Amino acid sequence: VFVLPGPNDWNNCPDPNIALNDWVHQLGSFERFFVEDFGITRQKTNQENFAFIHRDVLFIGLHLVGGRRHDKKEWRMRHQLNVRWVEEQLESVKEEKYKAVILLANARPGQQHTDFFTEVFDDIEDLDKPVLYVHASGGSGKFETYMPFPNDSKLMAVQVGSGGSNPPLRIAVGKGAENPFVFSTYGH
């Protein structure tokens, strides 16, 4: 189990600094309670960000949220840290070690995140691998797959259902270029 912060854990709180500090101390390395060792690396300047390879897939977790911008300068800085983290992972992990990339975050791509996606977009374009962006921030109750940037067929997104009443989403990484990611919910 990996946990990423959302706006109700941080920027939508009355005191975002205290909220984020509490989140980091309580949930920041939640996976330590489980036996499996994924060889996780974390960004030194932003401990919420993590990366690991599992079953030939490079997973990159990011502190990218929606909600209110409580501090524009801090928001831009965090996006730059996220960009740097993605670029570091794509540069430091040899491409033959993975067949796909899955970016994990809270926010649905939108205007608030243009600065992040514009910079990361170039890095994704240079890859000869499929890339999936998995995020929350949805109220539909069911998962939704879509292309967040219609002019780019390389980046696919999936919004997971909200809350604890929805079944877990299973993502299988295929080998074909036509359907690199296959989605299903347990029991369906």
The residue that leads in pLDDT, 68 or 157, is 157
Q: Is the pLDDT of residue 141 over 80?
A: no
What mean pLDDT do residues 73-81 have? 89
Question: In this structure, are residues 61 and 51 in contact, taking their beta carbons and an 8 Å threshold?
Answer: yes
Average pLDDT, the chain: 82
Contacts with 2 (C-beta within 8 Å, 6 or more apart), sequence order: 30, 31, 50, 61, 104
Rounded to two decimals, what is the model's pTM? 0.87
**pLDDT at position 140:** 62
Question: In this structure, are residues 110 and 66 in contact, taking their beta carbons and an 8 Å threshold?
Answer: yes
pLDDT in tens, 25-45: 777 677 766 766 778 888 998
- Given pLDDT bands bounded at 50, 70 and 90, which one contains residue 153? low
Q: Which three-class secondary structure state does DSSP give residue 62?
A: coil
Q: Rounded to whole angstroms, how far apart are CA atoms 44 and 63?
A: 13
What mean pLDDT do residues 60-85 have? 88
Tell me what percent of the residues of the chain surpass a pLDDT of 90: 23
**pLDDT at position 81:** 94
Distances (CA, A) of 90 to 26, 97, 120, 142: 29, 11, 10, 31
Rounded to the nearest angstrom, the gap between the alpha carbon of residue 68 and the centroid of all alpha carbons in its chain is 19
H helices within 61-152, ranges in order? 72-92, 114-126
